[in-house]
Structure 1
């Protein structure tokens, strides 16, 4: 493969990856999951401390955990919160607008009206079965670490998603699973010093169902980047 082909292939993988919430009923082997993590572990981290821990779930182990989380969610959802704050309590207008646009596109593609609280709740509950994906990942980080290590963890998670994509698999990172860290601790050997950061669904995309997904627009480069000291680009 030439350098041009390699660049195009990598760019394509990054541009075509999206959070998939529809999965085919097809297993993913232990070896494949291990290979994905083997590639992802080469993510950069400050001072090479590699601040990630992963619990990979499949089969009966995954099913048991999902049943417990779903039952807990149905009975006492309000009593469970994440150990960290994902969104700012008051988002600046730029980000709030994007968040609202996401909701409109996402729920609209599913035929769920904005005022359909029951429909939205049912869709949210699908998170707790990893959207039917055959593999679920639970990712944790040591609570004694600082924000820099969380940045490192983000690069590791991106590696996981890209490594899955090039193997014909799709993923969906799921912060909402962090709410049920107490339930997860009943089933998994999560250290007391560790924070559950997120889950991640992993499997073969149900192409027909995923095709109904609305298009999530990304901001153009000009909206977030400023160039300083470069020559004027050709054609400008």
Structure 2
């Protein structure tokens, strides 16, 4: 599979098969992804990879934390701005509505929607979870570099027949995760990522998110007319 195909084919998978992923395969993916871009070669990332009993412990931890505080744990790095402006607000709204429509969960079914949201904290059934850790002293640029690492992991996994879902939802339990993993105070978990084999029979995996047309997001200057 070439890079172009991997980019076009990759999507956020929200239903995985329970089939295990071998440690050697996970290590191979991450080893290749180490070549992701990093400004100044800071490589401002660490990863915590969980499977088996440790994965189950993290799932239980999240369930307990959110049962105690359904709004999540307050933190200095919110997932979204307090006010999401247009056109971004409409894009976010639409993908949510499209997803729930595929699942047959109407807007008035609050419990159904919460139940689907809670699957984030089960890695959507994926057997492997990856948490990305960054030093609090790092700036916005370095957070972007972690995103480059994550995208590289997703593309390598896609090329090797595995599926992924990047999960900022894990930010809702950052403090509990930090205690669980015994992170020092200067480190913070950015987000998680689910890794496994796609359940292609699951309706939710038919979701195709829309992208703005190129001329809406790109301005070309200095080119000669064709």
| Short-chain TM bin | over 0.9
* Structure-1 separation of matches of 2:59 and 2:166: 16
Do the aligned partners of 1:83 and 1:195 also contact (CA within 8 Å) in 2?
no
Cross-structure match for 2:43: 50
| 72-81 vs 16-25, which moves further | 72-81
Where does structure 2 lack aligned partners over 5 or more consecutive residues? none
- 2:19 is aligned to 26
1:168 aligns to what? Answer: 161
Match of 1:3 in 2: none
Match of 2:32 in 1: 39
Contact 1:56 1:137 in 2 (8 A): yes
> With structure 2 as the length reference, what TM-score do the two structures score?
0.94
Alignment of 1:195-206 (within 5 A): 195-206=188-199
Kindly indicate whether the alpha-carbon contact (under 8 Å) linking 1:110 and 1:212 is maintained by their aligned counterparts in 2. Answer: no
Q: What whole-Å deviation, never above 9, does each CA across 1:67-123 have from its counterpart, x for those lacking one?
A: 121122123223513440221212222111111111111111111112221111101
Give the 3 Å change call, closer, same or farther, for CA 181–229 of structure 1 in structure 2. same
Q: Which residue of 2 aligns with 1:126?
A: 119
Are the equivalent residues in 1 in contact too, given 2:49–2:129 (CA < 8 A)?
yes
Tell me whether 31-40 or 209-218 shows the greater mean CA deviation: 209-218
Note the 1:49-198 alignment, pairs <5 A.
Answer: 49-78=42-71, 80-198=73-191
Distance 1:167 1:150, change over 3 A: same
CA RMSD of aligned residues (A): 1.5
2:15/2:125 contact within 8 Å kept: yes
For structure 1, the residue ranges without an aligned partner over 5 or more in a row are 1-5
The offset of 1:169, in angstroms, is 0.5
Cα offset, 1:64, TM superposition: 1.3
> What SS class does the counterpart of residue 22 from structure 1 fall into?
coil
CA distance in 1, matches of 2:204, 2:79: 28
Tell which structure's C-alpha radius of gyration is larger.
1
Cα distance between partner residues in 2 of 1:170 and 1:42: 20
Task: Spell out, residue by residue over 1:194-221, the C-alpha distance to the aligned partner (whole angstroms, 9 max, x if none).
Answer: 1111011100000111565332111111
Distance 1:78 1:46 in 2: 35
Deviation at 1:183, TM superposition (A): 1.9
Q: Report the alpha carbon displacement of residue 12 of structure 1 after superposing the two structures with TM.
A: 1.4
Range that drifts further, 74-83 or 219-228 = 74-83
Q: Which moved more, 1:97-106 or 1:81-90?
A: 81-90
